[in-house]
Amino acid sequence: MSTSYGKTRWKRFALVMVPSMAATAAIGVSLANSALAASFSVSGQQFKVTVDQLKGEGFSQFGGVDMEANKTPHPVAISAFDHATLQNLCQSVVTDLGPLGKWTLVLKAGQDAKNPVDAQQLLIDLNQLNADAKFGSINIGQDASTLQGSAIDKLKADGGSLPTGAQGFAQAAKTAELSKVQQTAYATSAGTFTLPGLKLNITQGTNECY
């Protein structure tokens, strides 16, 4: 294996591992360019996430598209939380390194229930979710262009936009609680992300969070 090949693959491997979390049940997604969260440029690799319990405030969700550098689109549900805490976060991604075989990078944090992971202005682009969910003061079918909150403000400040019209189906809730979360996602972004008890390791083979 050449030196340049190794550097390229490992750099790509590391960049995929941005701290992530789970969000609410999937809704219909839009392929409209207006729904693209422009701040997200994805590698094309999905990563898996598990969380024992998530408690969020200022939740909203709407359809969108993430785009790879080669312009390949990925329909996603974009979930936004003004603030969220996560107990026992696990995130994993598998990369095929050619002659070296498959390797898994695993990140864990917030395993102490008294000191969970804390996220502010959190945006997650996901395409699959399993969880038990409870919402407070939920509004399903809201026009996405009317969504508000610090996470939505961050999306707009980063160059993203909200879908409108027939493509603007969204939902919003004052609070959201999810447990036994299993998720696959393409990208995430946060104003701040605090990871107490952070542990990261790389193992040979496929050893994902679920």
Predicted confidence (pLDDT) per residue in 121-136, tens digit: 999 889 899 999 999 9
Distance of CA 98 to the CA centre of its chain: 27
Q: Which pLDDT band, with edges at 50, 70 and 90, does 45 fall under?
A: confident
Helix (H) / strand (E) containing 5: helix 3-16
**What's the pLDDT at 22?**
31
Tokens of 203: 């193992």
- Report, as an integer, the average pLDDT of 110-128: 92
Predicted confidence (pLDDT) per residue in 177-192, tens digit: 999 999 999 888 888 8
**What's the pLDDT at 19?**
32
Q: Which pLDDT band, with edges at 50, 70 and 90, does 14 fall under?
A: very low
Going by C-alpha positions, the residue among 65, 5, 70, 86 that lies closest to residue 187 is: 65
For the entire predicted model, the pTM comes to 0.78
Work out whether strand 47-68 and strand 117-143 pair parallel, antiparallel, or are unpaired: unpaired
